[in-house]
């Protein structure tokens, strides 16, 4: 079974530029998460999708961050404009259909450096 | 609201010694608890999970954890650690909303 795919693995941009990350979850997984992990901290949930609907985006800085999940499959996370404090690893995860609680499966992440 | 507390930011231990990584959670509803491990430049990998049933949960790589509802804890243990266990360990809690919240992590440093 293929895992959660993320791209790019690394990205360096200047502040005020825009950037986008892509995530392809495990086939059939209904729930998709985006997390931000700042160096030395635990992952912080940015947004949670159930199929293509948003379940929770309370911690997403909506003035600069946006995310979508087209057709309930792939997802993109965008930052525009980026700030220095956005430097972090952005992790995508997915979990199986809603009828059962299960663990989330994580991609390897995208390391963003804003200079 | 759910929250997870990992009081120890770093735990140094000698190889072949036992280790316990502490995790306490805060939730007003039924909870589901997880331990994940993160190796350098990698994503998170599930070690073990508690969904229901037996409060003692066994996971991969010889780790186990015990769910204690009265103390709202889910501590991770291993009787004998290896150098290869050096990594960051994260405790996480979820509920029926499927929202998955992580603690701040504990760095396990195994010394020869």
**Residues from chain B contacting residue A91 (CB–CB below 8 Å):** 43-44
Asked whether the predicted pLDDT for residue B99 surpasses 90, the reply is no
Is a pLDDT exceeding 90 seen at residue B94?
Answer: no
Q: Would you call A88 helix, strand, or coil by DSSP? A: strand
Query: What average pLDDT does this structure show over A81-93?
Result: 96
Neighbours of A108 (CB within 10 A): 18
Contact assessment for residue A67 and residue A47, using Cβ atoms and an 8 Å cutoff = yes
Q: Give the largest CA-CA distance in chain A.
A: 43
Give pLDDT, residue A101.
Answer: 64
Integer Cα distance of B91 and B60 in angstroms: 15
Of A45, A98, A103, the CB nearest to B99: A45
**What percentage of chain A carries pLDDT values higher than 90?**
75
Q: Do B105 and A107 touch (CB under 8 A)?
A: no
Residue A1: the pLDDT is 62
A·B CB contacts under 8 A: 57
Structure confidence at residue B17 (pLDDT): 98
Question: Worst-scoring range by mean pLDDT, A75-89, B63-77, B89-103?
Answer: B89-103
pLDDT of residue B1 exceeding 80, the answer is: no
**pLDDT in the model for residue A100:** 60
- Give chain A positions within 8 Å (CB) of B49: 103
By DSSP bridging, strand B73-78 and strand B64-68 are antiparallel
* Angle made by CA atoms B75, B60, B25, in degrees to the nearest 5: 25
Nearest by Cα to A45 from B88, B30, B90: B90
Check residue A104 and give its pLDDT.
Answer: 87
% of chain A surpassing 70 pLDDT: 94
Residue B28 has pLDDT above 70, yes or no: no
Choose among B32, B94, B104: nearest Cβ to A41.
B104
- Token output for B12: 């140094």
Mean pLDDT for chain B? 92
**DSSP of B45-110:** EEEEEE-SS-SEEE-GGG-EEEEETTTTEEEEEESS--GGG-EEEEEEEE-TT---EE---EEEEE
What confidence tier does B90 reach under pLDDT thresholds 50, 70, 90?
very high
Q: What is the mean pLDDT of residues B86-91?
A: 96
**What percentage of chain B exceeds 90 in pLDDT?**
73
Closest Cα partner for A48 from B105, B97, B29?
B97
């Amino acid at each position: 079974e293929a895992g959660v795919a993320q791209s790019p693995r690394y990205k360096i941009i200047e502040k005020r530029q825009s950037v986008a990350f892509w995530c392809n979850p495990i086939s059939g997984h209904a729930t998709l998460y985006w997390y931000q992990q700042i160096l030395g901290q635990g992952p912080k949930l940015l947004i949670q999708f159930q199929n293509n609907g948003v379940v929770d985006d309370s911690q997403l800085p909506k003035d600069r961050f946006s995310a979508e999940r087209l057709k309930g499959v792939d997802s993109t996370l965008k930052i525009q404009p980026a700030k220095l404090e956005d430097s972090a690893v952005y992790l995508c995860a997915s979990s199986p259909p809603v009828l059962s609680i299960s663990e989330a499966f994580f991609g390897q992440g995208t390391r963003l450096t804003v200079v | 609201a759910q929250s997870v507390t990992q009081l120890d930011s770093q735990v140094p231990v000698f190889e072949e010694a036992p280790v316990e990584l502490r995790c306490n959670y805060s939730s007003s509803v039924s909870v589901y608890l997880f331990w994940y491990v993160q190796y350098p430049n990698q994503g998170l990998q599930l070690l073990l999970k508690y969904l229901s049933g037996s409060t003692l949960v066994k996971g991969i790589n010889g780790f186990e954890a015990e769910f204690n509802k009265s103390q709202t804890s889910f501590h991770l243990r291993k009787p004998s650690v290896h150098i290869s266990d050096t990594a960051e360990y994260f405790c996480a809690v979820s509920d029926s909303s499927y929202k998955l919240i992580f603690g701040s992590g504990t760095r396990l440093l195994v010394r020869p």
